[in-house]
Structure 1
Amino acid sequence: MDDSNALAWLRLSLCPGIGPVTFYKLLAVDDPRNIVESDEQTLSAIGLKPNQVSFIRKQSVELAERAFAWRENANNHILLQQGDDYPPLLRESKGCPPILFVQGDVALLSEPQIAMVGSRNASSGGLETARSFAAEFVNFGYCVTSGLALGIDGHAHQGALEANGKTIAVLGAGLDSIYPARHKSLAQRIAQQGALVSEHLPWIKPRAEHFPRRNRIVSGLSLGVVVVEAAEKSGSLITARYAAEQGREVFAVPGSIRHAYHQGCHSLIRTGACLVQKVEDVLCEIESLSNWSKKVQPTLFDQVIDKEELPYADLLANVGIEATPVDILAQKTHIPVQEVMQQLLELELLGHVVAVNGGYILKGRG
């Protein structure tokens, strides 16, 4: 795409309140170049709110041009969802980011990848498993993708690098705001030997709600997701849930029944994830996916068939696979916040929802 089109995509996608779903709906209405150059009346007519109209006509130009200035570095790239460089497997995923900011090898995003995720407070055995598995994966020609977090993520990246392989880190902040700070040197190595990826502008600081959402990119880029260690309420299970929704294979490494940080993996196995004892267990399963074909239907996490039969159906109908804050649920359902919190607690105890960073998500019933 030429720069004028890329600039228009940026201006529209950066608008507050316009997420991927809304962006693609607008894309179906008109070309982004026509939208961002429309007058206030036209923008209002297609459903944009006054603050969004104001943003598009004023602040969006400066922000988009600032992003273009960041791209002047030869190692920095901006990918558009309709562009040739956009990873094809991620493009197939519902809600894929309209824009990706990449530092490093762009072509690597379209190569076969295996995601590895797990606990930030992993055991020494879990860390060693992450490191050794990652090294074996890259030796078999796969790129290892993870989220640059402490614990399992970081050791998976390091294992791939130490084996002279390729690795991709998906950030929950802009690429100029590496988090956690202690992984800055690791991020620099990844940018040289792999790629850093984010859907956020380069200067955006990390925010709690960014991390659950970045997990859909980790899983969307990959043929399968390997969960090495995870507690029962671990954020890694969000990645597994996204993987199931996207038709990816989900794998879990078992551990001692006496340790809490293995319970999430055991829950995944009970609900359909593949039990993994060695790298070959993963490779055998995903071999049929290496031609980029997707599974017809995800088999992990049984879907709630009829929410009307469950308690607090109105509230439950507004909880999905993406974290929704309590105040947003209160707004959508017109239920007082205190009552929403009470209903969510009961739903969590019944096993229908789970609290995660940024709010609540549906919990599949195994």
Structure 2
Amino acid sequence: MGEPIQESDQSLLELIQLNLIRGVGPRIRRTLLDQFGSPAQILNAPRQELLNVQGIGTKLADAIIYREAKSTAEDELRRCRASGYQILFEESAEYPSLLREMPDPPSLLYCKGSLLPQDELAVAIVGSRKCTHYGLQQAEKIAAALARAGITVVSGLARGIDQAAHTGALKAGGRTIAVMATGLAHIYPPEHRELSEAVALQGAIVTEFPLDQAPVAGLFPQRNRIISGFSMGVVLIEAGRKSGALHTARHAYEQGREVFAVPGRIDHPASAGCHDLIRDGAMLVRDVEDILEGLGPAKTPVMTAKNREVHTPRELSLSEFERDILNLVTLEPQHLNEIVQSSNLDSSRILSTLTILEMRKVVKRLPGGYLVRAMG
């Protein structure tokens, strides 16, 4: 039977029950919570009060009232615990803070693998399933470069660009997160089962959908808002004008995330959507430096796997020695002589490295020979 259900699990069970009701998507759930206050009050609301809520018809009201038995939610929770999956909700300490900023965050996040604090520094890579060799090359190359810089790569486990992005991050020894539009019991596409296992070992597979949710076309655009929600920025590679990846770009704009696009051949329809985005203001990507430059400052300092405090993603592309010199510079102005004297290293090497750091815009020079660590 697995681990017994505790009384302390009641709130989580109510969230699972609500999540199991067909037709209660992110926006309907948010409307219901605004009206009734909690999942328990929604589940116990009178039929007429449910019908008074905008967007709730008789079919959905009946589905909420005559919901599946509590035992179904208990079974879902037991299965997750037996498989070692986490179920995170908004009040969980492990729930990603970037997702909380979304207008319609997932109420539940099923997770296989681990989400770490360093995953706050994440970039999504998305694009077409039917892509060219060039697109696959660029996705894998950019993902690997981001991973080597200490940035977590987020994508959707789909064929094509998504697959190449996850693969690039894995090969570089970095972290990657796959956001699925199915339940954890339905890896899709099925041929990516081995890839999904590798992703879970070096990151996480996450979904807002119940364990047994099979692939349904309409759920993929819904999933895309979580891909962008996880990330500081979204990189599009080979998105045609009808590509679902453009939904992810739209969500990114709505969430205040940066949008980047990799150009392709101007006469190839595979990159037409990317070229439209560049024309309309998305940042053009030539290499990973363009992405790190465009991300700007981290909202709060993030601790990386090597326990370094990062104030801006540009710092991630520095060499070990450059990071050591950068750590001599504080957020408060210091005179150049004071910085040099604070280290036993050769002064000429410190001075030349500080000049490089200034050129890379991670150190700012102030009048009077003072330096300060750049925040943006």
What TM-score do the two structures reach when normalised by structure 2?
0.72
Distance 1:292 1:219 in 2: 20
> 1:30 matched to which residue of 2?
37
The residue identity in structure 2 corresponding to 1:201 is: P
Kept after mapping to 2: 8 A contact 1:16/1:52: no
RMSD, aligned α-carbons? 2.4
Runs of 5+ unmatched residues, structure 2 = 1-6, 303-376
Q: CA deviation at 1:57?
A: 4.5
Q: Distance in 2 between matches of 1:292 and 1:237?
A: 30
**Does 58-67 or 201-210 show the bigger shift?**
58-67
Counterpart mapping for 1:223-262 below 5 A = 223-262=232-271
Compared CA separation, residues 45 and 258, structure 1 to 2 (3 A): closer
What SS does the aligned partner of 1:191 have?
helix
Q: How far 1:117 moved relative to its partner? A: 0.5
Residue equivalent to 1:71: 80
| Contact map agreement 1:114 1:224 (CA 8 A) in 2 | yes
Among 121, 145, 151, the residue aligned to 2:160? 151
Alpha-carbon offset, residue 37 of structure 1: 4.2
AA paired with 2:37?
Answer: D
Asked if 1 retains the 8 angstrom alpha-carbon contact of 2:21 and 2:63, the reply is no
Tell me the secondary structure at the aligned position of residue 165 of structure 1: coil
1: CA distance between counterparts of 2:126 and 2:301? 21
Letter matched to residue 31 of structure 1: S
Q: Counterpart of 1:16? A: 22
Q: 1:54 to 1:145 in 2, by over 3 A?
A: closer
State which structure, 1 or 2, has the greater radius of gyration over its C-alpha atoms: 2
* Shift in CA distance, 292/67, structure 1 to aligned 2, threshold 3 Å: farther
Matches of 1:282 and 1:24, distance apart in 2: 33
3-state DSSP of counterpart to 1:106: coil
| Alpha-carbon separation, structure 2, partners of 1:273 and 1:40 | 47
**Separation in 2 of the partners of 1:230 and 1:22?**
30
The CA deviation string for residues 223-281 of structure 1, in whole angstroms up to 9 with x for no partner, is 00001111121111111111111110000011111211111110000111000101000
8 Å Cα contact 1:252/1:268 also seen in 2: yes
Q: Structure 2 CA distance, aligned partners of 1:216 and 1:156?
A: 18
1:49 CA drift (Å): 3.7
How far apart are residue 88 of structure 1 and its match? 1.0
User: Counterpart of 1:250 in structure 2: which amino acid?
Assistant: V
Question: CA shift at 1:32, angstroms?
Answer: 2.1
Amino acid in structure 2 at the alignment position of 1:138 = A
Amino acid at match of 1:22: I
Q: Residue 239 of structure 1 aligns to a residue in which SS?
A: helix
Percentage identity across paired residues of the two chains: 42
Distance 1:292 1:230 in 2: 33
Confirm whether residue 190 of structure 1 aligns to residue 196 of structure 2: no
| Residue in structure 2 matched with residue 343 of structure 1 by the alignment | none
User: Aligned residue for 1:89?
Assistant: 98
Asked if 2 retains the 8 angstrom alpha-carbon contact of 1:224 and 1:250, the reply is yes
Per the alignment, do residues 109 and 78 of structure 1 end up closer, same or farther by CA in structure 2, a change over 3 Å counting? Answer: farther
Q: Please show how residues 1-366 of structure 1 align to structure 2 within 5 Å.
A: 2-28=8-34, 29-37=36-44, 49=58, 52-73=61-82, 75-107=84-116, 110-291=119-300
Q: Distance in 2 between matches of 1:190 and 1:240?
A: 23
Cα deviation, 1:149-193, whole Å, max 9, x if unaligned, reads 111100100010011110000111111101111111000111111
Q: Secondary structure at the match of 1:59?
A: coil
Contact conserved, 1:15 with 1:52, CA < 8 A, in 2? no
Contact 1:117–1:153, Cα closer than 8 Å, also in 2 = yes
How far the C-alpha of 1:64 sits from its partner, in A, is 1.3
- Counterpart CA distance in 2 for 1:199 and 1:170 is 9
Residue type of the partner of 1:241? Answer: R
**Counterparts of 2:86 and 2:262, CA distance in 1:** 35
- CA 1:213–1:257 in structure 2 vs 1: closer, same or farther (change >3 Å)? same
Which amino acid is 2:247 matched to?
I
